[in-house]
Amino acid sequence: MTVSYTLDISRSNTKSVIKLLFRWRGSIWKAVWLQLLAWCIAYFSISIVYRFALSNDMQKSFDTLATYFETYLEKAIPLSFMLGFFVNFVINRWKEFFHGLGWIDDFALAIATYLRGSTEQTRVLRRTLIRYLVLTQTLVLRDISLQVRKRFPALETLIAAGLLTQDELERLEKIPDVYTRYWIPCHWISELLYEAREYGHISSDYLLEKISDESNKFRHGLAELLKFDWVPVPLVYPQVIFLTVRIFFALCLISRQFLRNDDHDIYVPVMTIFQFIVFMGWVKVAEALLNPLGEDDDDLECNYVIDKNLICGMAIVDQGGQPTPKLGKDIFWD
């Protein structure tokens, strides 16, 4: 589920910043604590071994190694640079994902007005169009979002959910190509609209096409999601980034030990722990957003979107055929 905190920051003052910093769900703390714990255990284990178990000579070798690592650590690995560019890239991709998810309002408003008629038959038609569009969305999201897949493991479960009828299921299953199958309900929408035009429920080709445009826009968003799924960010890119961060902190386990002849031995590597929180938090932004349809706290809730589209779409089209409020002069009338 996405984590909302907009109200916390309606004023940017110290209080709201503090409230923001100490949230738990979807937070840096939740994302980092386990790894930080593991890192600390490793660090202190090495520290104890170094201080108490190693012979003088071995300590000396350790010193050599640690000094060598520390010398090159910052200059060899441009951590902040890589993260800056990568997070920038991933967050833009996440925004595109978000826009691809699809909201049914436009389509519903278009058919509520332009598909005329107050009969039960036209109401059935309007509701069916909404159902088909949500069905397309569900078919697509099942294949790219684990959340939706878990909710609808088989096509049959869509019947129980009221998104599909037995008859429609059979027709879908006749289509061998999975990718084609996604768009069959969209084809039904086109056909139903075309017939409605022929029966005069839609008064012109122009308005027919305006409704079709809305369903097409919805469908394009879903097609974008499929493309994102088919061709993800080239593997090397996230690998380089994630690897770099891990190597960096693995090396810190040795390079940031307080050596015998260090003049500032304070036992606890406070700065490196801070650094760990900052960088692991930063990389976490990238990891969580790389697959926005996953199951992280901040991932997009596809099931919620499906339900919302169904409820909202049905509610809007049921307004169709009802009279508008009576017109009257407004209070600013001169």
Which 12-31 positions form the footprint of a copy of itself (CB under 8 A)? 12, 14, 17, 20-21, 23, 25-28, 31
Work out whether 332 is an interface residue with a copy of itself (CB under 8 A): yes
Residue 222 to residue 212: CA distance in whole angstroms: 16
Give the rounded distance of the alpha carbon of 84 from its chain centre. 20
Which 264-293 positions form the footprint of a copy of itself (CB under 8 A)? 264-266, 270-272, 274-275, 277-278, 281-282, 284-285, 287-291, 293
DSSP 8-state secondary structure symbol assigned to residue 333: -
Nearest residue (CB) to a copy of itself, 49 versus 105: 105
Residue 74 to residue 77: CA distance in whole angstroms: 6
We find the least distance from the C-beta atom of residue 296 to a copy of itself, in angstroms, to be 5
Residue count, binding to a copy of itself (CB under 8 A): 158
Residue 3 identity: V
- CA angle 34/35/40 to nearest 5° reads 100
Q: Which among 41-49, 50-58, 76-84 is the span making contact with a copy of itself, rule CB under 8 A?
A: 76-84
- CA neighbours within 13 Å on the CB side: how many for 310? 17
Work out whether 54 is an interface residue with a copy of itself (CB under 8 A): no
What dihedral do alpha carbons 94, 99, 102, 107 form, nearest 10°? 180
Which 171-190 positions form the footprint of a copy of itself (CB under 8 A)? 171, 175-177, 179-180, 183-184, 186-188, 190
* Token reading at 178: 């999975």
The single residue among 85, 153, 173, 199 that binds a copy of itself, judged by CB under 8 A, is 85
Which 144-163 positions form the footprint of a copy of itself (CB under 8 A)? 144, 146, 162
Work out whether 77 is an interface residue with a copy of itself (CB under 8 A): yes
Q: What are phi and psi of 318, to 5 degrees?
A: -70, -15
